[in-house]
Amino acid sequence: MLKDVQAGTPDNKLACPDDKFVCPSGMIFESHAHYDDKQFDSDREELLSSMGKNGVGAIINVGSDFASCKRTLELMKEYTFIYGALGIHPSDIEDLNEEVYEWLRSSAVLPKVAAIGEIGLDYYWEKDSAVQSRQRYWFCRQMELARELCLPVIIHSRDAAEDTLALMKGIHAEQIAGVIHCFSYSPELAKEYVKMGYYIGIGGVVTFKNSKKLKETVARIPLERILLETDCPYLSPEPNRGKRNSSLNLPYVAKEIASLRGITEEEVIEATRENALRLFGKIS
């Protein structure tokens, strides 16, 4: 049950409900997927039914626009191992208004909703400063929703390093747990987020030959702060780069992380599973 804590206190991290869910030991915890995407329409059921026997134990399906949040709730109902994150992506904030915000608030209390996300700032696709300012407004509001509901956040930040960090420091985001998904900035910035208590989401990009900065980040941050993610259907790792991605490709990501850190793939899978269970509190 939600403990009655004052918004803004660090106690919020400890106030999560204790519903029990499962990602068995030795299995992969996929922390960021979009199985509601139309690219999975032709074989979604077959693909998702094959996850368990291929070593994937739990998946967080992450909402991006309002429609995908609603489809995430359906997937959560249909598959025991699928959990949900509800939130509106910075590139989809035209979907947001007070009514949708209230819908997020009332839906995010469902036991299988593990996080608010994905939320954040994207200045790569959005150059208009007025729209960027609206992105900041709704990023803040959704961070406050996570604080209020005692949920972690899944943050998307692209070409907006400075504003993301400034905004998060300004609202004391260190009091809210979360992950910086598809991390694309410097190792120094990753360390800054780790200091704030955040996790770093690592996916297919780490396997690309030209991703030197990310490889360095993975080698330098604590293993206890890394999460495995695909962002599927996007960002397939080598050797499947360019093809539709799925959680079945995560062993390639685990293998690359293992080689960068001089440990085994199994150790990476187990550590990232434990990290995800720690972060997404409600799932254990």
Tell me which residues touch Ni ion (CB under 5 A): 231
Q: How far is the CB of 42 from Ni ion (least distance, A)?
A: 21
Q: How far is the CB of 184 from Ni ion (least distance, A)?
A: 13
Q: How far is the CB of 85 from Ni ion (least distance, A)?
A: 9
65 versus 231: smaller Cβ distance to Ni ion = 231
154 versus 283: smaller Cβ distance to Ni ion = 154
Q: How far is the CB of 250 from Ni ion (least distance, A)?
A: 15
Q: What b/e string do you get for 94-122 counting C-beta neighbours within 10 Å, with b at 16 or more? A: eebeeeeeeebeebbeeebbbbbbbbbbb
12 versus 122: smaller Cβ distance to Ni ion = 122
12 versus 61: smaller Cβ distance to Ni ion = 61
Q: How far is the CB of 241 from Ni ion (least distance, A)?
A: 17
Q: How far is the CB of 172 from Ni ion (least distance, A)?
A: 25
87 versus 251: smaller Cβ distance to Ni ion = 87
Q: How far is the CB of 128 from Ni ion (least distance, A)?
A: 22
57 versus 87: smaller Cβ distance to Ni ion = 87
Distance CA 98, CA 13 (A): 26
30 versus 256: smaller Cβ distance to Ni ion = 30
Residue nearest to Ni ion (CB): 231
